Amino acid sequence: MRDLSLHLLDIITNSISAGASHMMIRINADHRKDLLTIRIEDDGKGMSPEFLKRVTNPFSTTRTTRKVGLGLSLFKEACEITGGDLLIESTLGVGTIVTAVFGISSIDRIPLGNTGETLSGLISSFPDREFAVVFSNDQGEESGLDTVDLRERLGDVPLSEPDVYVFVRDYIQEQQQIILGGI
Amino acid sequence: MKSLSELDQIKKKAQLDMSARNRSGKRIVVGMATCGIAAGARPVMSTLVEELRTRKIADVSVTMTGCLGLCRLEPIVEVIDADGVKVTYVKMDANKAKRIIAEHIINGQVCTDLTISSEEAQ
């Protein structure tokens, strides 16, 4: 994967497959601690402790189209080479929280990329689910977007409208830039 | 700087457009599993949506789906018409996405050089 926003897209599609209806994404850059944290929280069906133990193994997958599942193993690798870590907490019937921590200044850290394009694709493809993204930094600044607010503004206009897609993509990318800068 | 108030304009415009729309029932599906994403499916989807928007085609939906089991041919795009007839395009990129909108969606001509069967024939 070229950047972290592509990993993010990949990991959120796991939440979708797990039947999540609410997905909360928090991205925090703390330059003082030199840590970039991406946290994805969903209310999907969760994983059993047994599956959780082997979920970052590339030969673990629930899919039937192929026998390997590289998503989480690649994401874990992307964290670990920066001195960071990937933590997965999951409870059956409750949901899953994936927390990825990266060393910001590590030369091996890939850029964050375009989270706007990641979220707009998800929001327009799965208009019946709720997504929220929040960017925050060590200055206490915070901003983002929530599909609940989008729906309130748009009324009966579907989130899959091309105009909405482009707005969401550009708005989120702008918020990312304002709060996190070119990271 | 963009503001959420722009959504009010989008809403007004969409509500006007929606009442005048014929549903063609055409769907475009982009494979967006690990394999597709790594091969560049996300910008392909973005280009498809932007082309539809620029050309004011409002009756075709673009959505993502999971792995289609053909990872080596990703990014994969399927165009499915109202009767369920499906054309599968493989090894897609942004320029090919533009061609599919212009040639297949607008002019009704399948881009035969981009389909899975032409790839398999090579």
Is-contact B13 A163, C-beta < 8 A? yes
Q: Domain residues of chain B, as ranges?
A: 23-121
Tokens of A43: 């209310």
Closest-CA distance, B2 to chain A, in angstroms, reads: 6
Sequence-ordered alpha helix ranges (H) in chain A: 4-17, 49-53, 71-80, 115-125, 147-154, 162-180
Q: Closest Cα to residue A54, out of A102, A90, A95, A23?
A: A90
DSSP 3-state of A36: strand
- pLDDT tens column, B19-69: 766 667 899 999 999 999 999 999 999 999 999 999 999 889 999 998 888
**C-alpha distances in angstroms, A152 versus A16, A119, A155?**
23, 18, 6
CB contact under 8 A, B10 and A154: yes
The ipTM value here is 0.91
Please judge whether B8 and A125 are an interchain contact, meaning their C-beta atoms are less than 8 angstroms apart. no
Q: How confident is the model at residue A64 (pLDDT cuts 50, 70, 90)?
A: low
Percentage of chain A beyond pLDDT 70 is 97
Report the alpha-carbon distance of residue A84 to residue A87 in Å, rounded: 10
Give the residue-averaged pLDDT of A24-44: 97
Distance from CA of B60 to the nearest CA of A (A): 10
Question: Is the CB of A121 less than 8 angstroms away from the CB of B32?
Answer: yes
Q: Would the CB atoms of B64 and A153 count as touching at under 8 Å?
A: no
A contacts of B69 (beta carbons < 8 Å) = 65-66
* Gap between the Cα atoms of A146 and A124, Å rounded: 13
pLDDT digits (tens, 9 = 90+) for B101-120: 999 999 999 999 999 988 88
Summary mean pLDDT of chain A: 94
Q: Which of B7, B37, B63 sits opposite A125 (nearest CB)?
A: B63
Which of A150, A155, A157, A164 is closest to B18 using CA atoms? A157
Pairwise CB contact (< 8 Å): A122 & B63: no
Burial label for A69, CB within 10 Å (0-12, 13-18, 19+), is: buried
pLDDT tens track for B68-89: 888 999 999 999 998 999 999 9
Instruction: Give the contacts of A6 (CB within 8 A, at least 6 positions apart).
Output: A113, A118, B37, B38, B42
**CATH class (in words) of the domain with range B23-121:** alpha beta
Question: A13–B61: do the CB atoms touch at under 8 Å?
Answer: no
Q: Distance between CA A16 and CA A13 in Å, rounded?
A: 5
Q: Which residues on chain A place their C-beta less than 8 Å from a C-beta of chain B?
A: 1, 6, 9-10, 13, 17, 63, 65-66, 69-71, 74, 117-118, 120-122, 124-125, 149-150, 153-157, 160-167, 169-171, 174, 178
Measured CA distances, B22 to A126, B17, B60, B101, B103 (Å): 22, 10, 10, 18, 20
Q: Both tokens of residue A151? A: 């729906």
Q: Using the beta-carbon criterion (under 8 Å), do A154 and B7 form an inter-chain contact?
A: yes
Determine the length of chain A: 183
The strand order across the sheet containing A142-146 reads: A85-91, A95-103, A35-42, A22-30, A130-137, A142-146
Q: How far is B63 from chain A (nearest CA, A)?
A: 4
Under a CB-based contact definition with an 8 Å cutoff, are residues A98 and A4 in contact? Answer: no
- At B59, list the tokens: 């009756």
Which CATH number characterizes residue A119's domain? 3.30.565.10
For residue B119, give the nearest of B88, B95, B94, B78 by alpha carbon: B88
Tell whether pTM > 0.80. yes
Q: Which residues of A touch B97 (CB under 8 A)?
A: none
Nearest to A10 among B1, B4, B37 (CB): B37
Contact at CB, B67 and A155, closer than 8 angstroms: no
B92/B77 Cα distance (integer angstroms):
7
A165: containing domain: 4-180
Number of structural domains (chain A) is 1
